[in-house]
Amino acid sequence: MSRGCFMYFAYGSNLLKERLQLKNPSAVFHSIGKIKDYRLNFGLPADITNCAWHGGVATIQECDGEEVWGIVWTLDHDNLSTLDQQEQVHDGLYSPLEVKVERDEGPLLCRTYKMNNFRHCEPSPQYKKVVCLGAQQNGLPQNYLQKLLALKTNDYSGTSVLDQITAIEK
């Protein structure tokens, strides 16, 4: 039995519904929104040399005048622990924080995550593809999608989490 819901602002691979629902099946699209005075960046925590995506993953960093677009998802509280697990909160890789998401319907406070000990690292083509597919799937603004499509990658060509996502779709 669910104990209520919480709002989650996704800006990276969790823009894609199929990715988010791998471990968080209760996720339901709520709205599109943006957070102000943050910018999107890609990297890994300082002491990590590799991850399941074989390249940098998304995080947000404070930056006056910038904005990050994303999706607000509604999740059952039962999925709070699985979302924290996915974001590796208990391993110290990401920290949860509350952000004010600007939406057409008005501002909304949401949970999101920010990488700890960030160091820049280009994303793999597979990670970039998942982020861009999620942006397209949910109708993020075209100019923001173009910015995502223009991201440089590390040219990794092996297997990744993308294979798990596409296996579900088949």
pLDDT of 1 reads 41
CATH superfamily of 5-164: Gamma-glutamyl cyclotransferase-like (3.10.490.10)
Spans of all domains in the chain = 5-164
Residue 99 β-bridge partners: 110
pLDDT of 63 reads 97
pLDDT of 3 reads 64
Roughly what angle, to the nearest 10 degrees, separates helices 161-169 and 125-137? 40
Instruction: Give residue 19's identity as a one-letter amino acid code.
Output: R
Instruction: Give residue 129's identity as a one-letter amino acid code.
Output: K
Catalytic residue among 87, 105, 122, 169: 87
pLDDT tens-place values along the chain, 170 residues long: 446 999 999 999 999 999 999 999 999 999 999 999 999 999 999 888 778 889 999 999 999 999 999 999 999 999 999 999 999 999 999 999 999 999 999 999 999 999 999 999 999 999 999 999 999 999 999 999 999 999 999 999 887 777 777 665 55
CB neighbours of residue 95 within 10 Å: 12
Residue in the block written with tokens 């947000």: 60
Q: Is 87 a catalytic residue?
A: yes
